[in-house]
Structure 1
């Protein structure tokens, strides 16, 4: 076959070439995109950084609040970091995904080379990246308020990872089964409810109940890690159970449109 039949006039070659980027690169790009959008959104910044920072200042300064035995600044930071995880992984993720679903964005992305698995993986990685930013910002603020940084922060990593897994799955489950307006209302209401009595920032007087909730387990695990440098095995198991159960429920009932 002659070259004139394979290459159009003008030297332009429209023969398909190349291939899509590797799966890992696609996921990382999606995670970076979602994290960037969240950091540029004023409402998201209010939820994920400003409000936790205000709570940290309040809890650190109001000495009448009982944070439990241990270093008060470390306990305050632990509780607020747990709150920050819920803000990003559950509330922020549920609202963003709910409106993406309503607007048809999820359906379009699910049919792209990224695929459904890549989209979900990108969301989880974006949440992890945002949590790292939150820990750095809140840690710097806690240092200014009297907290002494130490290796205990590494002890909190398993609790943070399990907390991200459990609350991201819970947020996606909510966003994938409820209309966007309902997701917005429920996600914000649950955030306030967990802040007030879910055992996140402060030990809850309803601890026999809240200890079985992901909020109480996360709050206890992170506070004990930062306050005494110990692994709270019981709360970690509770978080693991919630993470697995919510992930299975999300896989079963999540609707893409």
Structure 2
């Protein structure tokens, strides 16, 4: 007669990461403010920009339909809103309520926690692209995307903004993180070169292209409009990702 012998122990790391990613994604999608930043505002920007296109077309140096110009930038905006603003706010309040501290004492290592958060971001971004792309096609968008260029833009943009979001969340109190993340989001939306092409900024475009928002916007436009890979802009995003990662590693506080 065999005897049941329990075998306590942590699950394999991939299973832990997937479980963490599922939880993070569910929490993000259940939060009304997160959904507002992730989906509602980008869709409003897309529809508003295209419908008001007759006034904006005078300042945009492009021969393509406005929906083809706006949509890649709005998708880039969605990536930024999820990777930076939503992540920073969520992490800030997780620190305040001791969630991060408790997760740090679980079998899930810190690298697994970070991987779970990034995977959750990519899951939400996939949903964002589906929704925004569907609305854009109703407005007449006919994309010819380069899969490599778009994929690298999403990955590098997520890495850059996620590292910066964790930096902000790791050094500020939750309320200050909420204010700072939303303020930075609005500033980059208005003047960061993410929705409109750099040609719309005149001489300032030479400066804006070095911002992570400007680099992500241009990388998306090259990927979706030209079907190419914007290696220079990806390099800028990589630099920001390294800077954000170093700052986060040096300053992040778990409580």
User: What is the TM-score of this pair, normalised by structure 2?
Assistant: 0.91
- Structure with larger Rg: 1
State the shift of 1:207 in Å.
1.2
State the shift of 1:209 in Å.
1.4
What residue ranges of structure 1 are gaps of 5+ in the alignment? 1-6, 8-12
Q: 2:197 aligns with which of 181, 200, 203?
A: 203
Tell me the SS of whatever aligns to 1:256. Answer: coil
Partner residue, 1:158:
152
Contact 2:83 2:162 in 1 (8 A): yes
State the shift of 1:169 in Å.
0.5
State the shift of 1:198 in Å.
0.4
The worse-fitting range, judged by mean Cα deviation, of 198-207 and 93-102 is 198-207
Structure 1 residue 61 corresponds to structure 2 residue 51: yes
Distance 2:31 2:61 in 1: 35
Contact 2:149 2:222 in 1 (8 A): no
Distance 1:151 1:54 in 2: 23
State the shift of 1:73 in Å.
1.8
State the shift of 1:156 in Å.
1.2
Distance 2:250 2:120 in 1: 23
The worse-fitting range, judged by mean Cα deviation, of 208-217 and 86-95 is 208-217
Contact 2:149 2:230 in 1 (8 A): no
Change (3 A) 1:97 1:70: farther
Distance 1:198 1:155 in 2: 21
State the shift of 1:18 in Å.
3.4
Q: 1:138 aligns with which of 132, 135, 145?
A: 132
Contact 1:75 1:226 in 2 (8 A): no
Which 4+ residue blocks in structure 1 deviate beyond 4 angstroms? none
Within a 5 Å distance, the mapping from 1:6-155 to structure 2 comes to 17-63=7-53, 64-65=55-56, 66-71=59-64, 72-152=66-146, 154-155=148-149
Distance 1:87 1:97 in 2: 14
Contact 1:82 1:201 in 2 (8 A): yes
Within a 5 Å distance, the mapping from 1:175-190 to structure 2 comes to 175-190=169-184
Deviations 1:23-43 (CA, angstroms, capped at 9, x unpaired) = 011011101111111111111
The worse-fitting range, judged by mean Cα deviation, of 114-123 and 161-170 is 114-123
Distance 2:148 2:137 in 1: 16
The worse-fitting range, judged by mean Cα deviation, of 152-161 and 138-147 is 152-161
Deviations 1:134-181 (CA, angstroms, capped at 9, x unpaired) = 111100110000011434355311111100000000000100111111
What residue ranges of structure 2 are gaps of 5+ in the alignment? none
User: What is the TM-score of this pair, normalised by structure 1?
Assistant: 0.91
The worse-fitting range, judged by mean Cα deviation, of 155-164 and 68-77 is 68-77
Structure 1 residue 238 corresponds to structure 2 residue 236: yes
How many corresponding residue pairs?
A: 245
Give the RMSD, CA atoms, in angstroms.
Answer: 1.6
